[in-house]
Structure 1
Amino acid sequence: MPPRKRKPGPRSSSDAVSVILPNALYLGPRSAASSTAFLTSEHITHVLSIGISPSRKVDDVVYHRLALADSTTSPLDVTLKLSIEIIGAALESKKGAGKILVHCSAGVSRSPTIVVGYLMKKRGMTLKEALGRVIRSRPQVSPNSGFLRQLKELEVELRGDSSIDVDELPRREVDRLAYFADASTGGSGSS
């Protein structure tokens, strides 16, 4: 019996893509950035790779890549600034109908950190609101402690105070979800 062909697209819950802003901003793993079936069905126009390139590129999708190591000592400032510009331009493309997938290797630390920073700076969310939205959409998300510290510093810079009182997120998904259960999904502003 010949081996069964694997269907294109996500293979498990860790491969699934999460919708952060409906019809606009998606977060996922590297595998999604090469999935013709996913990118086509969701009409994704842009892919932003954080730290790792997809295994192959899909025609008619604009790809961007920014270097960032998943290390507690990696500085976010330059990568976040460039990411915000790329995400904003992607969402404004196609007469405001552009859609972007932001990914890293597994969609757990680097790319979620970038998405949270975008939501804070461009959508006016607190860190707790932004991280809560991302974690409720993708429970496996857990930015490393260095990224969390820098997001807290960004919030202090933007708002004068931090909405999060921990230095590290709970290890278990259920505990992370519980921590963010009371975070509103507010925030507005332009892309």
Structure 2
Amino acid sequence: MDEVFKSIYVGTESDANDESLLRNHGVDVVISLTHSNPETGDIALVDVPMVDGPQNSYQAFAEAVETVVGHRENDRCVLVHCSAGSSRSPSVAAAAIPRLSDTTLDEAFEQILERRPETDPHDALVRQAVKITREGSG
């Protein structure tokens, strides 16, 4: 699991199931983008199931981004996770970062890639990130 922005971590399903890892990183909330529920112990879990690729609903993507933004605006540290931590979770984190800073979406993706080299978002999710970023700024 990697901190891709202040108090926003991106990780795998395995990371989300490791309560001691979550505690060591100060995670308050796990935002799960999978269709399984990780065992986070006493750490809050928000389930926003998504699929990787063009079948993903824009509504689910937007809900996940809003969830990240809302928790960060309330000074909570979040882990956004999907199965491998390479497509869904980095895409959602990248779309949230411009809402929380002066960073552009392109800069957010670059920053995430620097901090998490396994990042490889599906093109359809990148398009959803672009759409939500435009809507949020318009």
Shared topology, TM-score over 0.5? Answer: yes
In structure 1, the gaps of 5 or more residues are 1-16, 161-191
Shift of residue 38, structure 1, vs aligned partner: 0.6
* CA distance in 2 between partners of 1:133 and 1:142 (Å): 13
The answer as to whether partners of 1:25 and 1:101 remain within 8 angstroms in 2 is: yes
Q: Of the candidates 88, 104, 107, which is equivalent to residue 69 of structure 2?
A: 88
Describe the superposition over 1:150-174 as per-residue Cα deviations: whole angstroms up to 9, x where unpaired: 33344455568xxxxxxxxxxxxxx
Q: Which has the higher helix share?
A: 2
* CA distance in 1 between partners of 2:67 and 2:128 (Å): 20
Shift of residue 138, structure 1, vs aligned partner: 0.5
Percent of aligned positions with the same letter in both sequences? 25
The answer as to whether partners of 1:31 and 1:54 remain within 8 angstroms in 2 is: no
SS at match of 2:31: strand
Q: Residue in 2 aligned with 1:145?
A: 123
Over aligned residue pairs, what C-alpha RMSD do you find?
2.2
SS at match of 1:32: helix
Moved more, 101-110 or 125-134: 125-134
* CA distance in 1 between partners of 2:65 and 2:51 (Å): 18
SS at match of 1:48: strand
Shift of residue 117, structure 1, vs aligned partner: 0.9
Give the TM-score of the pair, scaled to structure 2: 0.85
Describe the superposition over 1:134-185 as per-residue Cα deviations: whole angstroms up to 9, x where unpaired: 111111111111112233344455568xxxxxxxxxxxxxxxxxxxxxxxxx
The answer as to whether partners of 1:27 and 1:102 remain within 8 angstroms in 2 is: yes
SS at match of 1:58: coil
SS at match of 1:120: helix
Describe the superposition over 1:78-115 as per-residue Cα deviations: whole angstroms up to 9, x where unpaired: 2233223322342344xx3x211000001011111111
Q: Of the candidates 3, 10, 13, which is equivalent to residue 30 of structure 1?
A: 13
Change (3 A) 1:67 1:129: same
Change (3 A) 1:130 1:36: same
Describe the superposition over 1:106-138 as per-residue Cα deviations: whole angstroms up to 9, x where unpaired: 101111111111013332422210100111111
Change (3 A) 1:56 1:157: closer
Shift of residue 49, structure 1, vs aligned partner: 0.2
Q: Count residues in correspondence.
A: 138
Counterpart AA for 1:149: R
In structure 2, the gaps of 5 or more residues are none
Give the TM-score of the pair, scaled to structure 1: 0.64
Counterpart AA for 1:100: V
SS at match of 2:106: helix
Q: Of the candidates 48, 56, 74, which is equivalent to residue 66 of structure 1?
A: 48
Higher relative contact order (CA 8 A, sep 6+): 2
* CA distance in 2 between partners of 1:64 and 1:159 (Å): 25
